A and B are shown apart, each in its own frame.
Chain A
Amino acid sequence: MPKLTINGQAVDVPAGTNLIEAARKIGVEVPHYCYHPALSIAGQCRLCMVDVEKTPRPTIACNTLAADGMAVWTETDRVKETRKSIMEFHLINHPLDCPVCDQAGECGLQIYYMKHGLYDPRMRDEKVHKPKAVPLGAHVILDAERCILCSRCVRFCDEVTGTGELGIFSRGDESEIGLFPGKELANKYSGNVVDICPVGALTDRDFRFAVRVWYLDSATSICPGCARGCNIEVHVNRRRPHHNDGRRVARLKPRFNADVNRWWICDDGRYGFAFVDDTSRLVIPRWSRDGALGDATWEEAIAAVAGALQRFAPDEIGVVASPKMANEDLWALRRILESRGIRRVAFRVPPRTPGDEDTLLIRRDKNPNSLGAELLGLEGDGAAILAAARARQVKCLWVFGHDLLASAWPVTETDAALRALELLIFTGPSANATSERAHFTLPAAAWVEREGTYTNFEGRVQRFRQAVQPLGQALPEWDILGRVLRALGVEAGATRAERWFRELASGVPAFTGLTYQSIGDGGAALSAPPGGGAAGSHLVSGHPPMGPGSRSPLP
């Protein structure tokens, strides 16, 4: 463990730590562009210069390993002067088109110019012009003029995805980032190059001109796209509703979690939020009375559903829960099942096309909470429930979120099962072919519109928070189920997600001892992780988690 001093402050770091990370550990920010903790050291940007005692010149902190007895100074006059000059050098050919640049407001150049630059420009010559607004792939657009050639994106494609689409071409001030001939930035993690680009050279096509970033509000959340449960931030536009065509969720950004996704997220997850503001959302409870489908109030709908659950014998009722529901919802559902003695329950519906999987993040199971549903004891044979419906043994079916007609089950058989039912209840955020057939539809809030927790495939319970209000009259599933429970005459005091979770933690052994506070923003592993919890350990790196200095916009 080398022991060194940074700005006179002693710090102990593991061997092999560079000076940027060592400084970060005690909350000292060394400005940098090209260094990224997940990528190899390039030493391109020269901005991270620091003074090391007994060395004649300032040294780049990214490529200097901490050594015992080292004395580092990050704010000497010489370092400040060097930074200023390097900022000036970076900006020589940078077009000052901040007004039209989507990065403005979260741009490394803007931030460091204000912090460390503030020089009077001396450049009189015409700036070098390079291609602008060049699409690199489905998700990323390049402005070569804005690029400072830090090569983070090139190293990302070489080292993280291993696809190597990008390179730096030409020489000197003509150098520019570009695609290798015949290639397209089409890997499954392409959106991440936008996040790691410290300037506005690579921007998001989906987010292009949608909202200026200073209008965005953010909430910490979990990606519901697969069983990995990548940590994300949901960026929502609440302040300027006329922007982004009125869509509230503007973008998802990965959030660092050393144990889950590190800095990354796949493109499917990143762009998988469109349904939240889609017209297919269910916004009002509907029921069919006298053969016609009409709007209902929540009181009417809840009373009708509770009445149905009492009218049918427990054996005549089937429930197809969803692994997209949060732990709190599933617990509330379990309370209903227990109170009525309903045994025909399942949560897995096989998808028609099996999901893809890779070794980085993407999991075959495209549901965020399959393990949670399993641990809550909702495992059952969904096909058997449908078979029983066809045999008219199950007369009332309650489906959560799934489109049974789009599953791997034969459509004709599913169709026959739904046709044979006396009552089909559907609860979910969006309409689908199954909800079209339902006699009652209860609109559920999307995951960004509510609180809850998911259990990822490694047995990590992670919390997501509310970013926007539910659309229309939609309610979180735990709220819907809690109301049904009360209508059934069962004591169900929980009126907040947190209380449902507390109840769940005392009722399910695997969750014992967990609270929203102990889960925090980083998630908490279950006390008895399934399968030893070793799966996906390739993700856990030697990189230290971000220290108190991580307020820097650049990792």
Chain B
Amino acid sequence: MKLLQRFYLVEVVSGLTLTAAHFFRNMGLHIAHALGRTDARGAVTIQYPEERRPYSPRLRSLHRLVRREDGSPRCVACMMCETVCPAHCIYIVAAEHPNPEIEKVPARFDIDLGKCVFCGYCVEACPEDAIRMDTGILEFSSYSRDGMIYTKETLLALEPAGADGRPTSPVPIPADRRP
């Protein structure tokens, strides 16, 4: 260690100078930006949640169940996703569909997001393209384990994300937080 470095004060002051330089520079740029100077760009801070990073279209976000034209699920309860799921987080109960051409329909389709590892195997395995992970929704939290279970009705109501990757449907409220 050099002699100057041994006096810590010198290094402390030089460090603080660097920090202060960035602080005042960014403050100036942000103020300029706020005043309408669009070419002025401060440090890359995204003002989440008002502002969002653009998501990749391949991002695996909250699942949704694709609907048929009549609004019923496209899912035929074949259990492929339930079978392939490495986290065992999908719970399907099959029922008879009134139309014998369709035959099978899920009476219950629950995903336990507390267990889900977002591997996307369910989407890969689905022979009907009935489950997708394209809602763009990443915010799901709950005060309880039960609240992490998303039911068929919730998953059916979700829409795909917009072209910019932003969610177009509201973030579902977990069952345990509903009024």
The reply to whether A133 and B100 contact each other, CB–CB distance below 8 Å, is yes
**B80 beta carbon closer than 8 Å to chain A:** yes
Interface centre among B80, B95, B104, B108 (most CB of A within 10 A): B104
Query: B residues 70-109 with Cβ under 8 Å of A?
Result: 76-80, 82-83, 91, 93-96, 100-104, 108
Closest Cβ of chain B: how far from A79's Cβ, in Å? 32
Chain A residues contacting B91 (CB-CB under 8 Å) are 242
Closest Cβ of chain B: how far from A145's Cβ, in Å? 10
Chain B residues contacting A131 (CB-CB under 8 Å) are 100
Q: Which residue of A lies closest to B110 (CB)?
A: A242
The reply to whether B93 and A100 contact each other, CB–CB distance below 8 Å, is no
Chain A residues contacting B101 (CB-CB under 8 Å) are 132
The reply to whether B82 and A240 contact each other, CB–CB distance below 8 Å, is yes
**B127 beta carbon closer than 8 Å to chain A:** yes
Chain A residues contacting B77 (CB-CB under 8 Å) are 100, 209
**A172 beta carbon closer than 8 Å to chain B:** no
**B11 beta carbon closer than 8 Å to chain A:** no
User: Do A100 and B76 contact each other (CB < 8 Å), given the known contacts A132-B100, A132-B103, A242-B93?
Assistant: yes
**Interface size counted on chain A using CB atoms at 8 A:** 16
**A212 beta carbon closer than 8 Å to chain B:** yes
Q: Which residue of A lies closest to B76 (CB)?
A: A100
Q: Which residue of A lies closest to B94 (CB)?
A: A209
CA distance A252 to B5 in the complex (A): 83
The reply to whether A99 and B83 contact each other, CB–CB distance below 8 Å, is no
The reply to whether B80 and A99 contact each other, CB–CB distance below 8 Å, is yes
Query: A residues 111-139 with Cβ under 8 Å of B?
Result: 131-133
Chain A residues contacting B164 (CB-CB under 8 Å) are none
A-B contact count (CB 8 A): 38
The reply to whether A99 and B82 contact each other, CB–CB distance below 8 Å, is no
CA distance A489 to B158 in the complex (A): 69
Interface centre among A98, A133, A208, A209 (most CB of B within 10 A): A209
**B146 beta carbon closer than 8 Å to chain A:** no
**A36 beta carbon closer than 8 Å to chain B:** no
CA distance A242 to B111 in the complex (A): 13
CA distance A208 to B101 in the complex (A): 16
**B128 beta carbon closer than 8 Å to chain A:** yes
Taking a contact as CB atoms closer than 8 A, the residue among A98, A209, A214, A240 that contacts B96 in the complex is A209
CA distance A242 to B149 in the complex (A): 15
CA distance A131 to B83 in the complex (A): 29
CA distance A212 to B104 in the complex (A): 13
CA distance A99 to B91 in the complex (A): 16
Chain B residues contacting A100 (CB-CB under 8 Å) are 76-78, 102-104
The reply to whether A209 and B78 contact each other, CB–CB distance below 8 Å, is no
**A68 beta carbon closer than 8 Å to chain B:** no
Q: Beyond A99-B76, A212-B79: 13 further Cβ-contacts under 8 Å? A: A98-B78, A99-B78, A99-B104, A100-B76, A100-B102, A132-B100, A133-B100, A209-B96, A212-B78, A240-B82, A242-B91, A242-B93, A243-B93
Q: Which residues of A contact B (CB under 8 A)?
A: 97-100, 104, 131-133, 208-209, 212, 214-215, 240, 242-243
Top 3 closest pairs, chain A to chain B, by CB:
A99-B78, A133-B100, A209-B94
Interchain residue pairs with CB less than 8 A apart (23): A98-B127, A99-B78, A99-B80, A99-B104, A99-B127, A99-B128, A100-B76, A100-B77, A100-B102, A100-B103, A100-B104, A132-B100, A132-B103, A133-B100, A133-B103, A208-B96, A209-B96, A209-B104, A212-B78, A212-B79, A212-B83, A215-B83, A242-B108
